[in-house]
Homo-oligomer: A and B are copies of this chain.
């Protein structure tokens, strides 16, 4: 199990949190997602054999947020 922190810009409310959480949660290999709105950070626990950082970044960007 790997752990990564994504810096996500533009999350402003509980809906944003939900959208990001659910987009990541739908990816195979993602085990756990914690969102901190205040800090603009998303901590993900994932199986690096099944999913990569690029996939996760894309999933968040598809929801309309910038990832650094």
Listed in ascending order, the chain A residues whose CB lies under 8 Å from chain B are 10, 12-16, 18-19, 64
| Chain A interface main SS type | helix
12 contacts between A and B (CB under 8 A): A10-B13, A12-B12, A12-B13, A12-B16, A13-B13, A13-B15, A13-B16, A14-B64, A15-B15, A15-B16, A15-B18, A15-B19
Q: Which 7 A-B pairs have CB atoms at the shortest separation, nearest pair first?
A: A15-B15, A12-B12, A12-B13, A13-B16, A13-B13, A15-B16, A15-B19
Q: Give A49 to B14 CA distance when docked, in angstroms.
A: 34
Contacting residues, chain B, for A14 (C-beta < 8 A):
64
Q: Give A36 to B8 CA distance when docked, in angstroms.
A: 25
